[in-house]
Structure 1
């Protein structure tokens, strides 16, 4: 096989809108304090048209509450780098096995073409426990939302997108396989571990279709779920003395969506700011 030539000077000069003309679906973009919102803003700032998925009833049932979808949408629109990009939002309960494929189709239709980028950021919060506390309902709920829905989204994305370069899938994992594990969130840790484990297999499956598949572990991120002494104790375990903020993993995820990351696939990448476990 011949060696590829060095990039030309023109190719080395980075486009200020590297995702102009691309389309993206970001799931779990329900709150302005969350990672999904930060990822959507970054993709939009890079020029992409973005569909923001939300499931307000989930967040409304959590201690942090829900944002109005129109407020999240307006925040992402304000960050758009391309005035011609489409920024759209819509609901979906990903616990329903029919919703992932329907959502991918709806997002593609709303953005005017097949999706290039899928960021499966959503997750079931709470409804979990230790080994002694978990039951079949907890396990099934986390399986349905955290893992099954992600695989069905990837399947629909691969089926609807014509083969060709520029396809991207980014999934989200957690620190379940690192020191200390997550003994208080067994169901969540189990399903997030499954996504990390399947990353390489999905990558090998989709590489010939021009789609890269990577999974990001964002580490502890301040999404408004912890306060007080517990918050300060976590912050002290970062060399910088601060938590990760939603835009920290969002910068990595947005870069993975660009052509510059076209050689990166099948990887589980941590973005933890040196967090000491």
Structure 2
């Protein structure tokens, strides 16, 4: 490893317009053009990365917002590609299946040339939840399987790929997603979801320590309330008023942070749970 200089050279200060050129990324939960996963995939593509977009259409098809066709999602990501040698691949996966995370990592790596540099675990289970008085074992187990267990198994399979690369291969990044359940007020009406997302926040530093020797950073992003087409009317306006800026977060707001965390500029940031919610007042 070259010696670290106290101040970068002028050449090192000049930012590459495609800082992820040659890198590969797997983004889970990139099923809808109105979602955060789609926005993240587009940002990574615009930074030069090749992207594997994971989707689980049956989940969104059963929600009020409905599902997009995977080919439309892929077309939108391809429009953002900045490196002519980069590509976009997509594939399904029901991550409630304990075998699915390792299978997804293997498929994505194979499609992207044998390795994954960036893992963004954006997927989550919607619905099947409630306050303390109404939750049951099935609700808790369903959220555990999708929101937490699958993420840890994805990171495990990703780490095994990275270990097989030459020592300290640059560009290793893991970004997980949480939902601000540790901030004042919590999420009392979504106990199962809050519990499982909280587990990811709690394990962030442990995973970061585990993967540091392989030059992989691990961070978790809390995007706060983001307009992904799930709320309208008076409730939408009431949430907007809780932001100092007077507007909801949009999918590209957390996507910009996640894209930056994926670059070499963020190599000294790891083990952090980062709130990206513009001063949202609960």
Give 2:227's aligned residue: 222
CA spacing shift, 1:208–1:129, aligned 2, 3 Å: same
Matched, 1:12 2:13: yes
Give 1:256's aligned residue: 261
Give 2:183's aligned residue: 178
What is the alpha-carbon distance in structure 2 between the residues aligned to residue 137 and residue 148 of structure 1? 15
Matches within 5 A, 1:58-207: 58-161=59-162, 162=165, 163=167, 164-207=169-212
What is the alpha-carbon distance in structure 1 between the residues aligned to residue 53 and residue 47 of structure 2? 16
Give 1:247's aligned residue: 252
Give 2:272's aligned residue: 267
Q: Give how far 1:3 is off.
A: 6.0
Matches within 5 A, 1:43-62: 43-62=44-63
What is the alpha-carbon distance in structure 1 between the residues aligned to residue 143 and residue 5 of structure 2? 44
- Is the partner of 2:85 in helix, strand or coil? coil
Which one of the candidate residues 229, 237, 241 is aligned to 1:232? 237
Q: TM-score, normalised by structure 2?
A: 0.97
- Is the partner of 2:176 in helix, strand or coil? strand
Give 1:39's aligned residue: 40
Deviates more, 1:20-29 or 1:156-165: 156-165
Unaligned runs of 5+ in 1: none
Unaligned runs of 5+ in 2: none
Runs of 4+ in 1 over 3 A off after TM superposition: 2-5
Q: TM-score, normalised by structure 1?
A: 0.98
The CA deviation string for residues 152-178 of structure 1, in whole angstroms up to 9 with x for no partner, is 000000001224221000000011111
Aligned length: 276
- Is the partner of 2:235 in helix, strand or coil? helix
The CA deviation string for residues 44-101 of structure 1, in whole angstroms up to 9 with x for no partner, is 0000000000000000000000000000000000001101101000000000000100
What is the alpha-carbon distance in structure 2 between the residues aligned to residue 178 and residue 93 of structure 1? 30
- Is the partner of 1:50 in helix, strand or coil? strand
What is the alpha-carbon distance in structure 2 between the residues aligned to residue 10 and residue 68 of structure 1? 44
What is the alpha-carbon distance in structure 2 between the residues aligned to residue 179 and residue 264 of structure 1? 25
